[in-house]
Amino acid sequence: MAEETDRSANHPLRVRFDEIHGQYQRLRSGLDELRERLAELRVTERSRDGRVTATVGARGELITVELSSTIYGERDAAALSRTITETVRRATARAGAATRELVAGYLPAGAGSTEFLRTGDFAALLDRADAVLGGGR
């Protein structure tokens, strides 16, 4: 005699699948927009003395460095170098924060990808995958 299937037993699994599939569809549909917004992202930072301006992209890559004409009176090359470096670092830090904020708007809450962007720690990606798949380290 054939056993009857209890379809209601699969209901919680189906609800979870629908939820995950919906998250994936939202992520996928926004991916092109996110890619464009990241490609266009520019962060500009000016040195405290106003003589150095640095612009970086979403990944912190240096786009431009502009020096005020007053910089040519500077006799301390090491101080100028420190000013340029500090300005670029501040711009890069702001670009990283702006990138994380943009990406977080497209990912589900608690996504390991967001934590990876914040820390650069690959374990964040694996921890999230382990949690979703029910594994562990």
- In tens, the pLDDT along 45-59 reads 999 999 999 999 999
Output helix, strand, coil percentages for the chain, rounded to the nearest 5.
Answer: 65, 10, 25
- Band the pLDDT of 127: cuts 50, 70, 90: confident
Give the CATH number of domain 38-106: 3.30.1310.10
Residue of 106, 117, 111 whose CA lies nearest to 29 = 106
* 3-class state of residue 64 by DSSP: strand
Q: Is the pLDDT of residue 115 over 80?
A: no
Half-sphere exposure of 40 (CA within 13 A, CB side): 7
Give the per-residue pLDDT at 132.
Answer: 65
- Band the pLDDT of 66: cuts 50, 70, 90: very high
Q: In the chain, where are the structural domains located?
A: 38-106, 108-137
**Residue recorded with tokens 């939820």:** 19
Query: What is the amino acid identity at position 111?
Result: A
- Band the pLDDT of 11: cuts 50, 70, 90: confident
The larger pLDDT score, comparing residue 131 to residue 99, is at: 99
